[in-house]
Amino acid sequence: MKNQEEVKSMQIVVVTGLSGSGKSTALRALEDIGFFCVDNLPVVLLPKFISIQSDPAKGISKVALVMDLREKTFLDKYQRIFNSIRQKGYQLEILFLDADDDTIVHRFSETRRVHPLSLKGSVLHGIHLEREKLTPLKQMAHHIIDTTSTNVHQLKDTVQRYFLPSTPSQRMVVHIISFGYRFGLPSDADMVFDVRFLPNPYFEEDLKDLNGHHKKVKSYVLGSVVGQTFVQKLFEMLSFLIPLYEREGKSRLNIAMGCTGGRHRSVVMANETAAYFSERDFQVSVLHRDINKS
């Protein structure tokens, strides 16, 4: 009986909607808050997939799947399969993404992708046909997001607000990235800190070949008066800003730490900042983008 309760507690989110409406972005947003994600799973495999992933030994409690008419049998079988899964006691929610015709045409023009239903006609014809075919599915949806006027970051925030647990221990998602300026700035950063003013281990013979994870490098970077002062003032600023962001309804924050090569100083500061947020019960992810680049 215990195993059956664990199986039925799995949260299943089906991300669907019009081609070009932002489903891939929505899936990445769910992955960032702990969902096990799969793109373009054939709908006939969904029951078997759930059965496998619901094994308590896997420790998976949330799954998200992009499913749409790229898969030929989807339209004919999704309703029966979704209803069957719900009847077994699973929590299955449908997130439907939409956008107006002009926006989708523009997105396909920018990406030069082929609309799945426009192989023998115009993109606009394909959009109209897809919209018609997906109308019953849209009517079944629990959440509908119109992405016409939203950018990538706004869409991520909206999706995560729907599916983040509303408990005190589950707070804003903080993603921290270290990077090297020589390889370019991260495109999705909300806040960028240039830490090239900190002592540079690259010029120390015994530290040059290490990276920011090593305790010697950390001590060198943070051991100076400048390093200690910066950390103190950084955390004071964050302690002031974060409650304001949360009050405004922001569900995710991307913080970038940059040094010259992305191997030493930025890694140290990204780790320090991640620890700061983890100690305060935020959901934190860290990416050291350029740590292995020369």
- Taking the chain, what is the end-to-end CA distance rounded to the nearest angstrom? 55
- Print the domain residue range for 191: 173-288
Q: Domain for residue 208, yes or no?
A: yes
Burial of 12 per CB tally in 10 Å (0-12, 13-18, 19+): buried
Query: What are the tens digits of pLDDT across the range 63-114?
Result: 999 999 888 889 999 999 999 999 988 889 999 999 998 888 888 877 667 7
Give Cβ neighbours of residue 59 (< 8 Å, ≥ 6 apart): none
Residue 59, pLDDT score:
79
Residue pair 262/179 in contact by the 8 Å Cβ criterion: yes
Query: What are the tens digits of pLDDT across the range 252-262?
Result: 889 999 999 99
Alpha helices in the chain (DSSP H): 2-8, 23-32, 46-53, 74-87, 101-111, 123-140, 152-163, 215-222, 225-248, 265-278
pLDDT band for position 47 (cuts 50, 70, 90): very high
Angle between helices 123-140 and 74-87 (to 10 degrees): 20
pTM for the structure as a whole: 0.57
- We report the CATH number of the domain holding residue 86 as 3.40.50.300
Structural tokens at position 185: 């700035």
Residue 166, pLDDT score:
56
Q: Domain check: are 151 and 6 in the same one?
A: yes
Q: Provide the domain count of the chain.
A: 2
Residue 5, pLDDT score:
43
Please give the average per-residue pLDDT across 160-164, as a whole number: 81
Query: What are the tens digits of pLDDT across the range 104-130?
Result: 888 887 766 777 776 666 778 888 889
3-state secondary structure of 93: strand
pLDDT band for position 34 (cuts 50, 70, 90): confident
Q: Domain check: are 8 and 145 in the same one?
A: yes
